[in-house]
Amino acid sequence: MPLHKLSIVLAVRNRQHQIADRIEQLIDGLAEWVPHPFEVIVVDDGSRDQTFAVVDALCAEHPQLRLVRHDRPRGMEAAGQTGLERATGDLVFIQESDTAVCLQDLQQLLSLAQDDSVVAAQAESRREPIAPSLVRRLRAWGTDADQQLQPVVETDTPFRLQMLRRHQLQRLAAPQGDRYRLRGQTFQLAVAKR
């Protein structure tokens, strides 16, 4: 089935100071390398700060941006589900953690979507500091490249991005959906960039 539109769901709560940059980076990144129309759906999960107002103002600047609000906090998973229900894309990507979308993960999932048998997939990445052995090796070669590395704060919270194929989900939810058998597969990708 040809791809016509992507939906990216961002679940957020109390992020008035970060959300504008996150949305701008995501929309700019998508506009750069996604050849399909897309929408970004921000689900404000009962924020008590000005998150809703900040995103609402951005909606006027970006026609592909939509905003939904929970009147009280229901949790990031519930916000992701609300976004999935409101999404209109053939492929729906859901970021349930309150972090920025990793565009590399999005690209990897989009490449998996080329296989129409893939119903759902998840990318999970962690920010980790550069290994001390690599820093020593860079210094031993007489470079100052280690000085150019940006420090990364290690986190226990992974960046998870889920991808769901709408027409396959509808088929699974239909009365004959129990006839289908799902098979899971896990693999890790390591990416080096220069």
Phi, psi angle pair for 187, to nearest 5° = -150, 160
For the chain, the maximum distance between any two Cα atoms, rounded to a whole number of angstroms, is 66
Q: How many domains does the chain have?
A: 1
In a domain, 137, yes or no: no
Burial (Cβ within 10 Å: 0-12, 13-18, ≥19) of residue 174: exposed
For residue 61, what is the domain's CATH number?
A: 3.90.550.10
Phi, psi of 107 (to 5 degrees): -65, -40
Report yes or no on 149 lying in a domain. Answer: no
Residue 146 lies in a domain: no
* Domain annotation covers residue 191: no
Give phi and psi for 35, each to the nearest 5. Answer: -80, 0
Whether the Cβ atoms of residue 7 and residue 93 lie closer than 8 Å to each other: yes
**DSSP element (H, E) containing 163:** strand 159-165
Residue 82 lies in a domain: yes
Per the domain annotation, does 100 fall within a domain?
A: yes
Asked if residue 12 is part of any domain, the answer here is yes
- The pLDDT tens digits of the residues spanning 5-47 come to 899 999 999 999 999 999 999 999 999 888 789 999 999 999 9
pTM more than 0.85 = no
49: alpha, beta or left, given left = phi > 0 and alpha = psi -120 to 50? beta
Give the span between the Cα atoms of 30 and 37, in whole angstroms.
9
pLDDT digits (tens, 9 = 90+) for 36-93: 899 999 999 999 999 999 999 999 999 999 999 999 999 999 999 999 999 999 889 9
**What residue numbers bound the domain in which 100 lies?**
6-128+158-179
| 43 within some domain | yes
CA dihedral 54, 56, 57, 62 (to 10 degrees): 120
Query: Could you read off the pLDDT of 165-192 as tens digits, one per residue?
Result: 766 665 556 666 555 555 555 555 444 3
